A and B are shown apart, each in its own frame.
Chain A
Amino acid sequence: MSKIDSRAVDLVVIGGGPAGLAAAISAKKNGINDLVVVERNDWLGGILPQCIHDGFGLEIFKEHLTGPEYAQRYIDEAKELRIPCILNCMVLEISPQKQVFVASPEGLVCFNAKAVILSMGCRERTRGQICIPGTRPAGIYTAGVAQNLINLKNVMVGKNVVILGSGDIGLIMARRLTLEGAKVHAVVEILSHTNGLPRNLQQCLIDYGIPLMLSHTVTRIHGLNRVESVTISKVDEKLKPIKGTQKTIECDTLLLSVGLIPENDLSTTCGVQLNPVTRGAIVNENLESSVPGVFACGNVLHVHDVVDFVTIESEQAGKSAAEYVLGKQKQLERINVQAGNGVCYVLPNSISKNSEIELLFRVLCPKEDASIGFFDGEKLVKTKKFRKVHPAQMIKVKLSKTETTDISELRVELLKK
């Protein structure tokens, strides 16, 4: 057996999507010259090349860009900065000593890294994960796969479509399929509210008169070779289908837009601890995981609503990784941050005292005129009012240095009024 090609490197960035590119660019700008981006596909930009709709970049560039345009800006910048990006390379394992094992077209390579940035993104939940009963015919796609086929490969997926799940990709695909001549009979959502951004409700469903069925789900798929119809049922408050409410919709295609899961199979190989709610790494304000020198950013950390936030977070991870490699990282005393009543999750999971910090969090249910409380034990440190909060919209709140002075823990809660 031949010896593994082994190479020492300051920083390995895993994944060449928007998170990995922004992290690598930021690390380079912060003084790391010896770095490499490892990408398993034969292109950079991750999922963005298939997201041909506009609305990207408003936060960062103050423009409405399409996915491919947004990606190209970072691909160009990485190229200008001469950041090595190796394509068609699959990372197999990361050891706790930060050896990154890569299956490359030239054979197995091992990078002995000082720091690693995890930016592998997320993947879609499938039919198997939501257990829809019925036959197993052709014509069942996750929304992202359908998007890939239509927008990159010129393959149309069907003519009569039902979409389960009202996340943004589902809404975007409802419009896309309609524009390409398909009939979208309904977008079916198990919850009593949509999971997508409100603007997508308007420009993807309302604009085209596509019915949205809230508190409904698909309870059976019919058809032997191809999908012939689906049964949908109303659900109760516990999301259980209500007997006697079944309706059949004839269709040849079912699209699933039922959630995204951070792709952390690799993270756990080096011992990174995960948060069971986000299914991403537990991180401090430097976006450093439980393994020193291993950082996480983008959708592998938590699923974001818009790519601009992925970029901003990843720039932070790149800067932090550079500080770690250059020995500039400060050893600080940290306190835990937790999600309390009405809050789904909060990031980062721990913060240093006496520092200005930005917390990111999501609420569990939509609410109007909501107040969010920041507690140290029973003591209320800060309150912030919102006209409207929604689980689909990530909330960002800054805490000042004085607000984090002398606190021993931090809990974020939706206040009852």
Chain B
Amino acid sequence: MKTEMICIGCPMGCYLTVECDGKTIKNVEGNRCKIGLDYAQKEIINPERTLTSTVKVKSGHLPLVSVRTNQPISKSRIFDVMELLAKVEVQAPVKIGDEIVPNIFDSGVSVVATKNISKKK
């Protein structure tokens, strides 16, 4: 079976044609580097994405702090993580890299802050 996909590894965005038999990859075409190869592999077996979103902050200079997963997570868990983050509220100040939610769903992946939020003056 042939599957078409676009590599998200860099802004180049290679259009890949992946030939596979079930979950075994036979051939990948269209990639310009190794990133495309690895991406195709993961897309067929267990597609992963880095999730970025926001969580609420109490008494910060902004009402929200932007966050990300510190590693890509399974695409199928994205909406579960969003639901989880909707219930989280942290206290200012927050620093880039601060752990907001550790080890989500025992995956070993944490949600971390991507912005500095100072205390409201």
Contact = CB atoms under 8 A, between A and B. Distances in A.
Contact of A66 (B9, B15, B52, B79): B52
Interface in B8-35: 8-15, 32
Interface string A173-211: 000000110000000000000000111011100110000
B121 to A, nearest CB: 12
A199 B63 contact: no
B49 interface: yes
B40 interface: no
Interface residues of B, number: 32
B54 A52 contact: yes
Given A52-B53, A151-B64, A179-B53, A68 B114 contact: yes
Contacts of B49: 203, 207
Contact of B10 (A58, A179, A202): A58
A69 B114 contact: yes
B73 interface: no
A151 B56 CA distance: 10
A68 B6 contact: no
A150 B52 CA distance: 13
B11 A68 contact: no
A54 B50 CA distance: 8
A60 interface: no
A161 B112 CA distance: 29
A202 B66 contact: no
Contact of A68 (B32, B53, B115): B115
A58 B11 contact: yes
A199 B114 contact: no
B68 interface: yes
Interface string A137-152: 0000000000000111
A199 B62 contact: no
B11 A72 contact: no
A152 B62 contact: yes
B82 A179 contact: yes
A306 B79 CA distance: 28
A53 B11 contact: no
Contacts of B75: 207
Which 9 A-B residue pairs are closest in the complex by CB-CB distance? A198-B13, A202-B6, A52-B66, A68-B115, A199-B8, A199-B13, A66-B114, A154-B63, A198-B6
Interface of B: 5-15, 32, 49-54, 56, 62-64, 66, 68, 75, 78-79, 82, 96, 114-116
5 contacts: A66-B68, A154-B63, A197-B11, A198-B12, A202-B8
